[in-house]
Amino acid sequence: MTFLENIFERLQQAGPAPVLREIRHGKMNSVSGDELLGMVQEARNFLISRGMKRGDRCALLASNSIRWVALDLAMMAEEIIVVPLYSRQAPAELVAMMKDSSPVRICCSTAARSAEIKNHWAAAPHITLLDSIFAGETQKPTPPKHHADSDILTIIYTSGTSGEPKGVVLNAGNVAHMLGCTNARLDQLMGQHAAAKAPDEIFHYLPFCFAASWILLLTALSRSSVMTLSTDVSKLSDDLKLCTPDYFLNVPTLLERVRGKITETIQKRGGFAALVFARAQQAYLRQRNSDSRLFDRPWLGLAKRIMFPEIRKSIGTRLKALICGSAPLSIETQLFFMMLGIPVLQAYGLTETTAICTLDDPLHAVPGRVGPAVPGVEMRLTESGEILVRGPNVFPGYWQRPEATAKAIQDGWFHTGDQGDVDATGNWRITGRLKNLIILNSGHNVAPEPLEEELARHVQEAQRIILVGNQRSFLAALVTATSSNGLTDADVQFAIEHVNGDLPHYKQIRAFVILPEPLSAENGLLTTNGKLKRDAIATRFSAEIEQLYQKKPA
């Protein structure tokens, strides 16, 4: 049985029970297994009536919704290759990806988005609005067409931290293997709570056009679960209260924001509550380092009884774990949630590895590490510290880019471009990107990520910190603030002096500037999933960088 046949069977077994929900304007809408299968069949009939066939490509340009899920399943059931696109991406970038994948049809959520595409691409193929696909007619479902492992399911475009995005081809074998791994890990997580026999409650807000988000969707559909879709990122806190999930997938940015908000709220309250929280946090960290002091236990015990349970309620009353991926999570943030009694399980992977290479073991998560390689996947390091991956999760290649594919996959090993290390137990840690290495004119090589993370720990008001200095004589820092005020030169200078004290001379930061604007995907300085576009940042702020190197270093 293929993974898609398994999903269809699971939906049939669910019958009238809900399997998917979406929250819009504070109201919860849900569909049962029977209803979702009916919607899938309705979409299949539409695609067939429009002459679409096996191997055709169809762009799916829409935000998360039950309809998105139904259309995605319908295309796969008809062996149509899905090209999912980020609905908030700039029209010119979307058109470039669509021209590259040459879809037969574009399925779009709104007339406004359709007009933007036509404005940038006069020769665009037919654009269909989702409203015209789903008329609400009852349809009797039929089994999906049977996939071979080598059959292409989707082309997912990388976010492109530098250069032009490439279309990552994923096949049925890639996805089937990964769903086996994710289901096994979730069985481990939920198996700790044997009394809970109800379906998993999953909260979801990340766009399905991203590989990890899509894999979690397919995982949810293939197991006994109910996934609730949040459709407004500004309402995540309210939506969480409606859903009360067992777990949900996150990016580090959100967890950092939640941590900051909790800390800020407690500090504003002041008084005894702030004192208890501060002492408990110090006690917890000392306990982790086997350096406990006489009165640590009472402070920590008091916080566990009167404060931590209330904080957990504000995040989720039945939360078993937070799952985090897409970018490095600071160890301080991971420990913060662990202190509250909420495990944070990390995953590491790339679109090219079907989103995942490693997954934390729910019973043995090590802060700062991203878990062991999933079953069936091999990982090793080159002399330069680059992580190589081999296994059934590795993609067959980039869409119509044989040279790029040959460069990425050599002797069966995918070159991730990431640097890392692995401990004696097989638990991995990601330390940076090879292409981000800063090579000073002294010949010293510096990985910027660890220094950026360390400096960020001491500058709470900073949104992002970016080190520069390639082919220069020293390192300098670009700093963006979380708001228009609250971050001063003195704050940054104090943090830099603190960090520099433990560093060799070539790693010391000698200058900095607070930038006039924050980084975002909208202004082209972050990727759609929050990663730094270092080349774009260097170009945008070239004048500020030049001024840093005209000054006499500290």
| 197, pLDDT greater than 80 | no
Q: Which tens digits make up the pLDDT trace of 96-144?
A: 999 999 999 999 999 999 999 999 999 999 999 999 999 877 788 999 9
**161: its two tokens:** 């931290």
Would you tell me how many other CB atoms lie within 10 Å of the CB of residue 552? 6
CATH fold for the domain made of 252-317+319-434: Rossmann fold (3.40.50)
28-32, 106-110, 327-331, 359-363: which has the minimum mean pLDDT?
A: 327-331
Average pLDDT over residues 331-351: 95
3-state SS class at 538:
helix
pLDDT value at position 166?
A: 94
Which tens digit of pLDDT belongs to each residue from 34-46? 999 999 999 999 9
Domain 3-246: which topology? Rossmann fold (3.40.50)
- Cα angle 254, 255, 256 (rounded to 5 degrees) comes to 90
Q: Is the pLDDT higher at 424 or at 462?
A: 424
Q: What is the mean pLDDT of residues 314-336?
A: 90
Q: What is the DSSP letter of 507?
A: G
User: What is the rounded CA–CA span in Å between residue 512 and residue 509?
Assistant: 8
What is the pLDDT at residue 112? 94
The pLDDT of residue 460 is 76
What is the model's pLDDT at position 196? 56
Mean pLDDT in residue range 74-86: 97
**Stronger pLDDT, 443 or 297, i.e. the higher one:** 297
For residue 149, pLDDT beyond 90: yes
Query: Does pLDDT of 433 surpass 90?
Result: no
- The ranges of the chain annotated as CATH 3.30.300.30 are 437-550
Residue among 67, 43, 57, 61 nearest 113 (CA): 61
Which range is most confident: 272-286, 318-332, 446-460?
272-286
Q: Quick one: pLDDT band at residue 192, thresholds 50, 70, 90?
A: low
Query: What architecture does CATH give domain 437-550?
Result: 2-Layer Sandwich (3.30)
Pairing mode of beta strands 200-204, 247-250: parallel
Distance CA 432, CA 422 (A): 14
Q: Which two tokens stand for residue 41?
A: 């069949």
Give the contacts of 158 (CB within 8 A, at least 6 positions apart).
Answer: 165, 166, 168, 351, 352
CA 420/CA 422 separation, integer angstroms: 7
Mean pLDDT of 54-65: 97
Predicted TM-score (pTM) of this structure: 0.87
Instruction: Locate CATH 3.40.50.12780 in the chain.
Output: 3-246, 252-317+319-434
The predicted pLDDT at position 195 comes to 57
The chain-wide mean pLDDT, for the chain, equals 92
Range of lowest pLDDT (213-222, 329-338, 486-495) = 486-495
Phi, psi of 228 (to 5 degrees): -105, 125
